[in-house]
Structure 1
Amino acid sequence: MNMNNREINRLLSTDSQGDDLTEKQKRIVESAIEMFSEKGFSASSTSEIARRAGVAEGTIFRHYKTKKDLLLAIVTPVMSNLVAPFIVRDLDKVLKQEYEHYEDFLKAMVRNRHDFIRRHLPIVKILIQEIPFQEELRSQFINLVAKDIYRRFEKIVIHFQEKGELIQVPPSSVIRLSISSIIGFFFARYIFLPENEWNEEEEINITIQFIMNGFKAR
């Protein structure tokens, strides 16, 4: 993954102006993103990050007290400046549309998220790998993204239940199992088995049919 200085400043700026990072900080951040994405937070060491960045390990600790501080320095502004507004704004293209069937909505949502993941894969991998284990990141994601998306998703599910297209179960169950199946596809595709040969269109269709077989009214 190659990121230029402008991209790093844009991702990590915490206000509208954004304080420029030093050249060494930019190299540290870029190396940390690469390492966390490739190996995960726990398996990455500050010595490896320093070596890849071409700086002394002590330089990292002059800017970031701990490895976790480095992770949060990367992910927290990214969550606020890129992920939260981009996910919400980008998903608006899906959520604001009217669909004849729930299956059509699922297809649009999966393809929209698939495109987003491919364009921001290193950061997305860090978020996927670390949100379940880092309370600060989990709280940020819930507050900045999940609550808003859940409310809007719920309205769509209720709409199709009222049309008689989906079975009458709690909307939360439809949302939970739909999202679990979709995330399962993305986990397999990009985290567990990225080297496999994937027929992505076929796998997306299979995933959606699996969901519909469980929730479509007979």
Structure 2
Amino acid sequence: MKISEMMEQFLNKDEESNMSEKQKKIVKAAIEMFSEKGFAATSTSEIAKKAGVAEGTIFRHYKTKKDLLISIVMPTIIKYVSPFFAKSFVQEVLENKYESFEVFIRKLIKNRYEFAKRNFPILKIYIQEVFYHEELRGEFQNIFLTHVYEKFIKIVKHFQEKGEIAEIPPESVVRMIISTVFGYMLARFLISPETNWDDELEIELTVRFIMNGLKNQE
């Protein structure tokens, strides 16, 4: 499921929100447009048309498109969507049993690749804003630590005990894996999306890189 689809479900069910129905329509429209076209390519007139409101209605609530993004869209995504997808990642990847560390790594990379492929226009905005806003960064870190980190560490320790990967601090192993996979996703979808990528080959090379780097040399 895409972030925009998930966001619409949460907004429709949210009974505690202080947003009016018009505001909810604006937020849903903004997230859908940002997901499809990206932030820079989306105009407030397009958001208004999608939401079925006058463009002036947006500016009565939000001074600029950026204000709409920072004050409502990003906090709403972090509040509702991020924990859901963190839990989904845990269920789909981290709570399974694997016959080898390589099988685990392969599953992890393919899972994140499919997620990024479905959602990268909105993820691009997320990545950019998290770097520049400490509050958003703190929320993201909290979600990672709450839902993902300990289970990731547990898997690393399991395969270290089996002798499949090097005895280096598990925290370092997690950091290396995340930085490698994140780097691949950035190159694939943000830095060089126009490149004629052979995704199966790139995933395979990424798996080999991680496995060779973490191989137990004893």
Return the TM-score normalized by structure 1: 0.80
| Cα deviation, residue 87, structure 1 | 2.4
- 1:74 & 1:51 partners in 2: Cα distance? 17
2:207 aligned residue: 208
Please name the residue that 2:100 is paired with.
Answer: 101
1:71 and 2:69 are equivalent in the alignment? yes
Q: C-alpha separation between the residues in 1 aligned to 2:134 and 2:11? A: 20
Q: Residues 167 and 32 from structure 1, CA distance in 2 versus in 1: closer, same or farther, beyond 3 angstroms?
A: closer
What number of residue pairs does the alignment pair up? 210
Structure 2: how far apart are the matches of 1:174 and 1:90? 18
Give the fraction of aligned pairs with identical amino acids, expressed as a percent: 38
1:168-217: CA deviations, max 9, x gaps? 11111111111111011111111111122111111011011111111110
Measured in 2, the distance between the counterparts of 1:68 and 1:52 equals 15
Match of 1:185 in 2: 184
Partner Cα separation in structure 2 for residue 210 and residue 17 of structure 1: 47
Cα deviation code 1:83-108 (max 9, x no counterpart): 21122124312111111221111111
1:84 is matched with: 83
Counterpart for residue 30 of structure 1: 29
Q: Is the 8 A contact 1:103 1:212 kept in 2?
A: yes
What is the CA distance between 1:77 and its match in structure 2?
A: 1.6
Q: Deviations over 1:54-101 (max 9, x none)?
A: 577654331124554411311212222222112212431211111122
Q: Compute the displacement of 1:12 (Å).
A: 4.4
Work out the CA distance in 2 between the residues paired with 1:8 and 1:150. Answer: 24
Q: Secondary structure at the match of 1:131?
A: helix
Give the superposition deviation at 1:28.
6.8
Match of 2:111 in 1: 112
Does the 8 A contact of 1:50 with 1:56 survive in 2? Answer: no
In the alignment, is residue 121 of structure 1 matched against residue 120 of structure 2? yes
Question: Does 1:49 find its partner at 2:43?
Answer: yes
The code of the aligned residue for 1:51 comes to: S
CA RMSD of aligned residues (A): 3.2
Aligned counterparts of 1:127 and 1:14: Cα–Cα separation in 2: 23
Displacement of 1:155: 0.8
Q: Unmatched 5+ residue regions in structure 1? A: none
Distance 1:25 1:77, change over 3 A: closer
TM-score (structure 2 length as normaliser)? 0.80
Report SS of the residue matched to 1:194. coil
How far apart are the structure 2 equivalents of 1:14 and 1:136? 25
Where has structure 1 moved over 4 Å in runs of 4 or more? 11-14, 16-20, 35-40, 54-58, 65-68
Distance 1:122 1:128 in 2: 10
- In the other structure, the counterpart of 1:162 is 161
